[in-house]
A and B are shown apart, each in its own frame.
Chain A
Amino acid sequence: MEVYLDNNATSPISEKVAEAIKDSFAYYANPSSVHSLGIRVRNFMDDARNKVALALGVSKEEIIFTSGGTESDNLAILGSLKKTSKKHIVTSLVEHHAVLNLFKQLEKEGYEVTYLPVDKDGIVDLDSLSDCLRPDTALVSIMYANNETGAIQPIEKAVQIVKNMSEKIIFHTDAVQAFGKLPLSLRSIPIDMASVSAHKINGPKGVGALYVRKGLKIMPLFRGGHHEYGMRPGTENIMGIAGFGAASDEAVENLSSSIEKYTFLKKRLWEGIYKTIPRVLLNGGLDKTLPNTLNVSFTNIEGESIIIMLDLEGIAVSSGSACTSGSLESSHVLSAMGVPAAAAQGSIRFSFGRYNTEEEVDYVLEKLPPIVSRLRAMSPLEK
């Protein structure tokens, strides 16, 4: 049995998306061309742009296509900072590396950075946000939902706090994980920019978008032509954009049923784990997290060992352990939440997607307990 529970890492391409990509092959001309073949491609592309915009609750003139979430984050942050001389910027300790490592770089370059702490469930502390804002604060970037724990941030309240301080402070959110898993209506909150990515919602890799509120001008990262309202030069990735449009369409169509299904599967998995495996910790709680994300620590054993053992049974998951992060430190997210190092090392993230079933959850619940027992029998921490 093959059970893919790593949908926060990436997700399989849906049939409709594959079809849309295939259809795009016929639209070969350059969308910037004046001739009718070019116009045809431009219209095809704008149709996809409209679908992405609808999914975010904004208008299509506010959508800039990029190469993915990382580029969108970089474009939003660097592109707006280049328009101001203010030097104080704010983010949280639990951001994705696409944001966090950019802030660390900006800190080296002379920006003053405030990293907002989180509580034990991984929720950003809003008092710290109110307290840190200053006349020279240029930008605040807080993720909509966390990729590791699924923790949903109080974005609306955070935006209110920032905009009450000053309308001029730019508010950006990395909404990559929230997209397709939570109802989003970005127009209804005075948010300035939001990053999203296609491959997390059953779309293709290598394409994403940045929502830029109407009227806001940012500097492009690259120099080139006037594509994407002058904010992202380069001939557009029509194939990827077509797939992204179809994926956004499906995400909207399936949103309520997806949320219902994920909530059911997540509850079933957690209750099964809790009943059959002693000494497990739920990282991030059940309710304040994305319906598709379950992060559990199995005490006294290490995440990579669990991943490999599950992999041998055909189950794909991920971990916040040091060994799986490619560094010697375990998850910065769990550490910011105060999860002890040993528990963070034994953390496993299960993330559901459109094609997961109840039978798959039951299969995991059958395979997981003996794996944990086996690894615990080998652990010197089990006394």
Chain B
Amino acid sequence: MNIVTIPLKNMRRKPTKTLLLLLVFLLGVVSIVALYQVSLVVGHSLEKKLTAFGANIVVKPSTETLSVSYGGFHMGDMLLDVKELQEAETTTAIRSIELNDRISVVAPKLVNMFKIDEVAIAVVGVRWEEELGIKSYWATDGAFPQQPEQILLGALAARKLGLGTGDTLTLQGHHFNISGVLFETGSDDDSVILMDLSKLQQLAGQPEAVSFFEVAALCAGCPIEDIVSQIQTNLPKTSVIALQNVVNQRMSSVRFVQKLALSISLVILVTASAMVGISMLSAVNERKKDIGILRSLGYGQSRIFLIFCLEAGIIGLLAGSIGYLAGYAISLKALEYLSLTDVARPVFSIAQLVVCTLIFPLITILSALYPAWKGSSIEPSQALVSL
């Protein structure tokens, strides 16, 4: 028996009213938790889908540029001490950063210049699986290469060479079948020949060599700068650059989903809190007699204030803990309905449960502050009028 007994027993006295109030706030908590969990998974899924539209980090060898002029002639910029990256070593270094779960695709590329029928053209070696992972917008009139002896031509390169799907191209004495020609993309890919990376390394006599890596990182849970910094730490002799415009575009989509969920949650929370406040206010008016009895027994204003706050806090405590569990369960069902469970699953977190059971009582107490203050301000003489 202590001061908590008073609000607890009072709530038991009116079970229907208490349950209704609990239900209103519980619905609010359930909606907020479910929305939060669903928005996280939807955001993650959205970001994962967006990685198919390009990389957001580039890893390339560190270079030093020298501008060469002599006798009034400018001879352009020269790159000094360019060392190609080693494919396996660099890939492992990128994939082993602390935030490795945020690395979605690592796409290596080797770029070499060749002359084909007196036409100078760039040949880019790629790992097809990774490349298609970040360039889902590519489309071809044929098929993407399945074997090392197959190549893909950019639209402009095909026109320049006068070749098309099904033709054969000879490079360094090796014959390659053109499996397809890319539809125009408006990017550098239009002017190049794309082929298997290992085959190009063999042709160029540069086994394991890679000119640069394109990396698609998921930035929803952490800033891109952290990922860049960790890759840079693992690869100190490289230059790691975040493509901020790509990152910002992608994150704005993800953040939109999260902001939308947050806005809806806020509306729900304010409505539920207002319901608690209104209910407590009517409870104060109903319980003037109780206040009068308590004041005549020496309960000060702070004690009366505490009783009303405890009552609101108990509602928040129950709604917070039950609401988290129910919200989590509902988010699972909602994601099943949205067919998103294969992308990611909401994470059940004891820490989040604890936060909910602490935060929501605080919110209900905040909602009850005015009614509690009003109740505690009633003078014994005012309360006695109702006795």
Q: Do A and B bind each other?
A: no
B→A interface (CB under 8 Å): none
A→B interface (CB under 8 Å): none
